[in-house]
Structure 1
């Protein structure tokens, strides 16, 4: 196990080794060059089982990388709805939005992940149009900028 890191285990999808190394907090919260912890890496790779192991072992669900992306934002990039649902059991949607430079609904809009966009709108029916990126762009602004068709649910 010497030299084996939680980040490497996630990258290799080695769940057995991940269970062994993630019992140490310093290992769970070690960051890569971009500021990603093992949990953040599991989320952007869409690795539900790895994320569950890390969450259950106490990984910081509110961590953000150096680009201001958190676990929910990265799971949205991966378009992994099961992972999104699981993360929302550990932290509220509102908290995730306060902990990122690019909220998940904005990521879903940019990437055309319409079922996730709809899900996020339903989570915050009265405020979703006010959710913005750090640049002040909401979903309508993103759609206009990227010349995307508005979805009608």
Structure 2
């Protein structure tokens, strides 16, 4: 009989549920093989009236399944405010976490439910809670490009995930130009903050070959001189990825064309190693030191010659390289 009752809750069969409740003798908190209760299934179905019947009958609103998901987790994925209100009024824990450490608020954001997210926050959801991977509600909003959600979630924009990335780092990495713009409007934003690898937002934009985002960051005042832990600058990365337009932008903003990384490599050497003749041509034109050598005493001409990049060799020789 309990299986029939469970199916009635799954299928939103209010009349059958009421009949069982009148008869009595039903264990409202009995769980199936997955650990799901009748209330869990009613929430999954969005069956408001059935949820009310079960809750009024004494169903445990905080009973979790095998994945530690509660009815509130489930309904947060559908965004049903009425059901959430019923659960919260009956003592549901709004900040409960499942096996992955995710709260109902995080599930709401993962599903892109901006208005429902506001509703949960108004009901007391804690936006600072991080899941087992170190990601907070703001991190998920940023990774999904939810500009409106970011606007009211962004309190501490310097908060970092397990890799040291701030929301700004994440927005840049995900090529979310509009989100980057929204974050830059926030007074507390750390434009030049770095993650555990030493990446600034600008360096990540160059790694991602995103000219638009790089331009947005530079216009906002991003520091071009900041380096990664390996000593590479934004110019090294854009040169090593063959992005002539970003290289041009950085040079126009005053970037040191002969800056060296920890290996002693200049952007020209990096471009020559990678075989990007358009970039080497631009760097030569803009006055790069052609004979500069790295820590191994090798120049751009040496690398281009060894790798068989004939066009780059010709460019360097025509430019006056001597070693």
TM-score after normalising by structure 2:
0.42
Per the alignment, residue 150 of structure 1 pairs with: 147
Aligned length: 146
Shift of 1:76: 1.0
Q: Is the 8 A contact 2:42 2:48 kept in 1?
A: yes
| Alpha-carbon distance in 2 for matches of 1:36, 1:105 | 20
Per the alignment, residue 58 of structure 2 pairs with: 58
Per the alignment, residue 17 of structure 1 pairs with: 16
CA change 1:9–1:121 in 2 (3 A) is: same
> Which ranges of structure 2 fall in alignment gaps of 5 or more residues?
153-323
Does the alignment pair 1:39 with 2:28? no
Q: If each structure's helix is expressed as a fraction of its own residues, which one has the higher value?
A: 1
Q: Is the 8 A contact 1:62 1:96 kept in 2?
A: no
> Which ranges of structure 1 fall in alignment gaps of 5 or more residues?
none
1:49-74 deviation line (CA, Å, top 9, x unaligned): 11111111111111111111111111
Q: Is the 8 A contact 1:4 1:21 kept in 2?
A: no
What are the within-5 Å matches in structure 2 for residues 129-148 of structure 1?
129-145=127-143, 147-148=144-145
What are the within-5 Å matches in structure 2 for residues 38-117 of structure 1?
38-92=38-92, 95-98=93-96, 100=98, 101-117=101-117
What value does the CA root-mean-square deviation take over the aligned residues? 2.1
Q: Secondary structure at the match of 1:112?
A: coil
| Alpha-carbon distance in 2 for matches of 1:4, 1:34 | 14
CA change 1:142–1:44 in 2 (3 A) is: same
Q: Secondary structure at the match of 2:127?
A: helix
| Alpha-carbon distance in 2 for matches of 1:78, 1:11 | 15
CA change 1:108–1:48 in 2 (3 A) is: same
| Alpha-carbon distance in 1 for matches of 2:16, 2:30 | 16
| Alpha-carbon distance in 1 for matches of 2:146, 2:49 | 34
> Which structure would you say has the larger Rg?
2
| Alpha-carbon distance in 2 for matches of 1:32, 1:130 | 33
